């Protein structure tokens, strides 16, 4: 099934954008669900309309403009693409709102577990193509979709890398959920029927060094429980100058082998917000161990 689906992706990706423009009931469903508030009853209605719309597509993708960018989305087997298609107004709105406020000139963003490019292309569009973005996705089928979506948009500073980020270099086993293709992990999660494939992997510090990053303004990590394999070695080896100023992590604490929040606090991060899916941290300007004093006039010095 995986090989068949991957072949279908490549066949569809050869067709120009607009080939799979939403029509009829599907177009109406997309337009309607994008107007709904995030209420319990509205969400139930979205699920119902989404189910009928996806069934009517029979595995075909949809070509849409969302977040100000073009995307070809396959909603039948990837939850991320379903969310972007039918309710983009509620696709991590808090996280994207915080991220958008920090996008400035020459913004450097690393997207680990980029999926089909939701965060990557959001940042690219909000920076008018001026951000330097590294989108990392290990799952071959999803990487194919990510690469296609990047090519659809005129951003010359986005680079996609087909690689897993882990605690060591080499070929590692990646487990793929048969229902949600975007849910891939170096740890077995989700269905016990998960398919296993071999993918190249390397530590985050090696990736950052290979790509020549001098700073990281923001980083998003969605690794389905493998965030500890990424962050542990990175903070052991990275200089503080490479610590991401803004760090967004999928909250998979039940799968972590150590306390990531405690590590981040030790490294000088403060928790900005905990959402339903993610933890958002910001790096303090004050390094751990510095002595902070306040003068009589209220000014603070380090």
pLDDT per position as a tens digit, 15-57: 999 999 999 999 999 999 999 998 899 999 999 999 999 999 9
Domain-embedded: residue 272: yes
Determine which of 33-42, 182-191, 223-232, 247-256 has the lowest per-residue pLDDT on average: 182-191
* Diameter over CA atoms, the chain: 71
Here the CATH number for the domain that contains residue 241 is 3.40.50.150
> pLDDT tens for residues 158-172?
999 999 999 999 999
Structural domain count of the chain: 1
Q: From residue 92, give the alpha-carbon distance in Å to each of 45, 95, 200, 255.
A: 20, 5, 29, 22
Q: What percent of the chain has pLDDT over 70?
A: 87
pLDDT of residue 185: 77
Q: What is the pTM of this model?
A: 0.89
Lowest mean pLDDT among 90-99, 162-171, 279-288: 279-288
Pairing of strands 195-202, 164-165: parallel
* Other CB atoms within 10 Å distance of the CB of residue 286: 12
Residue 106, Cα to own-chain centre: how many angstroms?
20
Examine the pLDDT at 12 and tell me if it is beyond 80.
no
pLDDT confidence of residue 179: 74
Identify whether 71 is part of a domain: no
Mean pLDDT of 211-221: 97
Please give the Cα distance from 96 to 89 (Å, whole number): 10
Q: In terms of residue numbers, what domain contains 213?
A: 89-283
Within-domain flag for 4: no
Q: For residues 250 and 246, what is the distance between their CA atoms, to the nearest angstrom?
A: 14
Q: Are strands 108-112 and 132-136 parallel, antiparallel or unpaired?
A: parallel
Determine the Cα–Cα distance for residues 109 and 99; give it in Å rounded to an integer. Answer: 10
N-to-C CA span, the chain? 59
As a whole number, mean pLDDT of residues 252-263 equals 95
Q: Rounded distance, CA 176 to CA 146, Å? A: 17
Q: Which of 72-86, 130-144, 221-235, 287-301 has the lowest mean pLDDT?
A: 287-301
For residue 65, being part of any structural domain is answered with no
Is 190 contained in some domain?
Answer: yes
What values do phi and psi take at 9, rounded to 5? -60, -50
Nearest CA to 180 out of 82, 112, 254, 39 is that of 82
Asked whether residue 290 is assigned to any structural domain, the reply reads: no
More confident residue, 193 or 50: 50
What are the strands, taking DSSP E only, across the chain? 62-66, 69-73, 108-112, 132-136, 158-161, 164-165, 170-176, 184-185, 195-202, 218-221, 246-250, 269-274, 278-283, 293-294, 300-301
Instruction: Report yes or no on 16 lying in a domain.
Output: no
Q: Is 175 inside a domain boundary? A: yes
Q: Give the pLDDT score at 176.
A: 85
Q: Residue 154 pLDDT > 60, yes or no?
A: yes
């Amino acid at each position: 099934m995986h090989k068949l689906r991957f072949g279908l992706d490549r066949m569809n990706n050869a067709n120009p954008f607009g080939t799979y423009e939403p029509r009829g009931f599907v177009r109406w469903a997309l337009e309607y669900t994008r107007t709904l508030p995030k209420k319990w009853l509205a969400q139930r209605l979205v699920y119902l309309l989404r189910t009928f719309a996806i069934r009517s597509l029979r595995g075909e993708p949809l070509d849409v403009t969302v977040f100000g960018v073009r995307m070809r989305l396959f909603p039948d087997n990837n939850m991320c693409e379903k969310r972007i298609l039918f309710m983009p107004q509620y696709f991590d709105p808090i996280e994207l709102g915080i991220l958008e406020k920090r996008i400035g000139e020459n913004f450097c963003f690393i997207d680990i577990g980029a999926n089909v490019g939701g965060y990557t292309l959001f940042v690219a569009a909000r920076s008018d193509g001026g951000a330097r973005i590294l989108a990392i996705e290990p799952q071959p089928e999803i990487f194919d979709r990510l690469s296609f979506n990047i090519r659809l948009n005129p951003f010359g500073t986005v680079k996609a890398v087909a690689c897993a980020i882990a605690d060591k270099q080499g070929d590692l086993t990646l487990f793929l959920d048969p229902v949600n293709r975007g849910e891939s992990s170096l740890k077995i999660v989700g269905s016990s029927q998960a398919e296993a494939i071999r993918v190249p992997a390397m530590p985050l510090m090696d990736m950052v060094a290979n790509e020549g990053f001098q700073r990281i303004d923001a980083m998003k990590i969605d690794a389905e429980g493998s965030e500890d394999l990424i962050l542990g070695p990175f903070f052991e080896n990275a200089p503080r100058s490479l610590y991401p100023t803004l760090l967004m992590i999928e909250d998979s604490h039940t799968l972590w082998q150590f306390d990531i929040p405690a590590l981040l606090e030790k490294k000088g991060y403060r928790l900005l917000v905990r959402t339903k899916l993610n933890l958002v941290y910001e790096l303090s300007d004050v390094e751990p161990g510095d002595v902070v004093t306040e003068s009589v006039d209220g000014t603070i010095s380090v």
